[in-house]
Amino acid sequence: MRPKPGATTQKKHERRRVLIAVGTRPEAIKLAPVVAALRAEPWADVRVLATGQHRELLDEVLAFFGIRADIDLDVMSPDQTLADLSRRLLPAIDAVLTDQEPGMVVAQGDTTSALMTALASFHRGIPFAHVEAGLRTGDRREPFPEECNRVLIAQVADLHFAPTEAARTNLLAEQVDADAIEVVGNTGIDALLWTAQRDLPDDFANLRRPLVLVTAHRRESFGAPLAEICEAVGEIASARDVDFLWPVHPNPRVREPVEAALGSLDNVRLVAPLDYPHFVAAMRAAALILTDSGGVQEEAPSLGKPVLVLRDKTERGEGIASGNALLVGLDRARIVKQTLRLLDDRAAYEAMAHQANPYGDGQSAPRIAACVAAVLQVRC
The site for ligand UD1 (CB under 6 A) is made up of 24-26, 53-57, 76, 78-80, 82, 85, 110-112, 145-146, 217, 250-252
H/E element holding 59? Answer: helix 56-64
Nearer to ligand UDP, 309 or 376 (CB): 309
CB 30 within 8 A of CB 186: yes
The answer to whether 248 touches 270, Cβ cutoff 8 Å, is yes
Q: Known catalytic residue: 312?
A: no
Q: What angle do CA 373, 374, 375 make, to 5 degrees?
A: 95
Maximum Cα interatomic distance, the chain, rounded to a whole number of Å: 67
Residue 16 interacts with, from ligand UD1, ligand UDP, none (CB under 5-8 Å by kind): none
Least separation in angstroms between residue 272's CB and ligand UD1 is 10
Helices 56-64, 25-39: axis angle to 10 degrees equals 30
> Which of ligand UDP, ligand UD1, none does residue 274 bind (CB under 5 to 8 Å by kind)?
ligand UDP
Distance between CA 235 and CA 369 in Å, rounded?
Answer: 48
**Of 88, 218, 249, 278, which one is the catalytic site residue?**
249
Residue 139 a catalytic site member:
no
Rounded to the nearest whole angstrom, what is the least distance from the CB of residue 43 to ligand UDP in the complex? 29
Instruction: Report, in Å, the least distance between residue 60 CB and ligand UDP.
Output: 8
| CA within 13 Å, CB half, 236 | 29
Q: Least CB distance from residue 34 to ligand UD1, whole Å?
A: 18
Cβ proximity of 181 and 168 under 8 Å: yes
Complex with ligand UD1: residue 247 or 358, whichever CB lies closer? 247
Closer residue to ligand UDP (CB): 112 or 339? 112
**Interaction partner, residue 78 (ligand UD1, ligand UDP, none; CB < 5-8 Å by kind):** ligand UD1
Distance of CA 321 to the CA centre of its chain: 20
Q: Which of 13, 140, 219, 354 is catalytic?
A: 219
- Tell me, yes or no, if 202 is annotated catalytic: no
Q: Which residues bind ligand UDP (CB under 6 A)?
A: 25-26, 29, 188, 215, 217, 247, 273-274, 276, 279, 293-296, 299
Active site residue 110: yes
Q: Return phi, psi of residue 353, to 5°.
A: -90, 40
Nearest residue (CB) to ligand UD1, 295 versus 366: 295
**Which of 16, 54, 168, 217 does the annotation list as catalytic?**
217
**Active-site annotation holder among 45, 146, 182, 292:** 146
Strands (DSSP E) contained in the chain are 17-22, 45-50, 71-72, 104-108, 128-131, 159-162, 181-183, 211-215, 243-247, 268-271, 288-291, 307-309, 325-327
Compute the Cα dihedral for 107, 113, 118, 123 and give only its sign.
negative
248 vs 373 by CB, closer to ligand UD1: 248
Query: Is 219 one of the annotated active-site residues of the chain?
Result: yes
Active site residue: 41, 45, 110, 147, which one? 110
What does the H/E/C string look like for 187-238? Answer: HHHHHHHHHHCCCCCCCCCCCCCCEEEEECCCHHHCCHHHHHHHHHHHHHHH
- By a kind-dependent CB cut-off of 5 to 8 A, residue 56 interacts, out of ligand UDP, ligand UD1, none, with ligand UD1
Residue nearest to ligand UD1 (CB): 111
8 A C-beta contact, residue 97 and residue 121: yes
Amino acid letter for position 367: R
Of the residues 27, 41, 60, 132, only one is catalytic, namely 132
Q: How far apart are CA 81 and CA 102, in angstroms?
A: 29
Q: Which is nearer to ligand UD1, 141 or 346 (CB)?
A: 141
The verdict on whether 41 is a catalytic residue reads no
Tell me the closest approach of the beta carbon of residue 317 to ligand UDP, in angstroms. 16
The residues annotated with a catalytic role in the active site are 110, 132, 146, 217, 219, 249
